Amino acid sequence: MRVLVAMSGGVDSSVAAGLLVEEGHEVVGATLKLWGGASDSGCCSVGDVDDARRVARHLGVPHHVFNMAERFEETVVGPYVTDHSRGRTPNPCIECNRNVKFGSLLERARRLGFDALATGHHARVVQGTREPRLARGRDPDKDQSYVLSMLHADQLRSIVLPVGSMTKKDVRAWAAHRSLPTAAKPDSQDVCFIHSDRGRDGFLADRIELHSGTLVDAVSGEAVGIVPAVELVTVGQRRGLGLTTGGRRRFAVEVDVSRRQVKVGDGRLATSRRVTVDRWTWTARPVETGSRALAQTSAHGRPVPCTRTPWGVEFDEPQRLVAPGQTVALYDLVDPELVVGSGTALVGPATA
């Protein structure tokens, strides 16, 4: 099999390439140039490209750099900024997977005659009754099925995830045993296009005007404080609001950028049984209205039972509010390892 391996310069994608080489496949490595600005994390720095190139040389496989900066700006960075300007909380990693890695790069791999695209994600592609299915990675602490939950069957037919059946400890041991240059390289934890020196606040301040906002009690309507930038507040946020709580825990329950206002409330108001969802995608057949599933609303969140509704999802028990812009991933109720689809949370809980 001829496989294009997306090599980010990290240990996971390095081992993915190495495993495929050992299995006898024809492997070509590709590193994406996504971001031209300052970066000290993720897969966008010069050092990461150099690391990927060294690994490819060590494995004896060709290595290329594909410039997809324009696509990245158009589908990831631009929408990230726009979402914040509207009071939403986007997930840029999911959008990068959707539009760039498993969008543009997969399309290019097919055009170039590759049989499959491989990455170092900790998830698995398993054969279902009719179609391939996406499943959780074997290492629960590193499982990345949530950030791949937008993949559909046509993509899964052409995707290989070699490290998904390994623990992170096994991945590093495999890399060390074969003297891969990235064996001890730390994992990246941050958004790749945001430099740690300035953070999200500094990045957004360079691109949009940030406005101070009034904190308003959601029940009484009383003004209770000020936030320096309403665009940086996330629904569900408790810390960093500058509130003197007097022992009361209060959360952001609604962000209204147009009115420059953030409503705050207690823990009861910060939970809901309902979330409105759109942009549904399905890994196989669509989950019909009324069907039961498990919903996960963050990368390492706890999956909880729910019912698919015409407007989104209804949880069996109240859950912490899902910030608009975040992904709601659905897993199979009978086999919780299997992803069935995902969608994007809209503003506010559903009302009916």
Per-residue 3-state assignment (H helix, E strand, C coil) for 230-277? HHHCCCCCCCCCCCCCCCCCCEEEEEECCCCEEEEECCCCCEEEEEEE
64 part of a folded domain: yes
Spell out a b/e string for 117-151, using b for 16 or more CB atoms within 10 Å of the CB, else e.
Answer: bbbbbbbbbeebeeebbbbbbbbeebbbbbbbbbb
168 shares its domain with 26: yes
CATH of the domain at 328: 2.40.30.10
Residue 310, helix vs strand vs coil: coil
User: Within this chain, do residues 280 and 256 fall inside the same structural domain, yes or no?
Assistant: no
CA–CA separation, 252 and 48 (whole Å): 37
**Do 300 and 334 reside in the same domain of the chain?**
yes
Question: Is the residue at 128 inside a domain?
Answer: no
Are residues 286 and 250 part of one domain? Answer: no
Mean pLDDT of each 10-residue bin along the chain, 352 residues long? 97 98 98 76 72 97 96 96 96 96 98 98 88 96 97 95 98 97 87 85 95 95 94 93 76 96 94 95 92 96 96 96 97 97 79 36
For residue 194, what pLDDT is reported?
87
Does one domain contain both 306 and 252?
Answer: no
Asked whether residue 227 falls in the same domain as residue 289, the answer is no
Note whether 249 and 281 are same-domain residues. Answer: no
> Does 192 reside within a domain?
no
Residue 220 located in a structural domain: yes
Q: Same domain for 232 and 251?
A: yes
In the set 43, 44, 93, 192, the catalytic residue is 192
Return the DSSP state at 97. Answer: I
CATH number at residue 26: 3.40.50.620
Q: Check if 96 is active-site.
A: yes
Of the candidates 74, 71, 60, 67, the one whose C-alpha atom is nearest the C-alpha of residue 29 is 60
33/111 same-domain check: yes
In a domain, 247, yes or no: yes
Count the residues in the chain: 352
SS (H, E, C) 118-151: ECCCCEEEEECCCCEEEEECCCCCCCCCHHHCCC
User: Does one domain contain both 167 and 83?
Assistant: yes
Same domain flag for 25 and 73: yes
The domain containing residue 232 runs over which residues?
211-265
Count of domains observed in the chain: 3
Query: Does residue 193 lie in a domain region?
Result: no
Indicate which residue of 44, 93, 96, 306 is catalytic: 96
- Tell me, yes or no, whether 170 and 275 share the same domain: no
Q: Is 67 contained in some domain?
A: yes
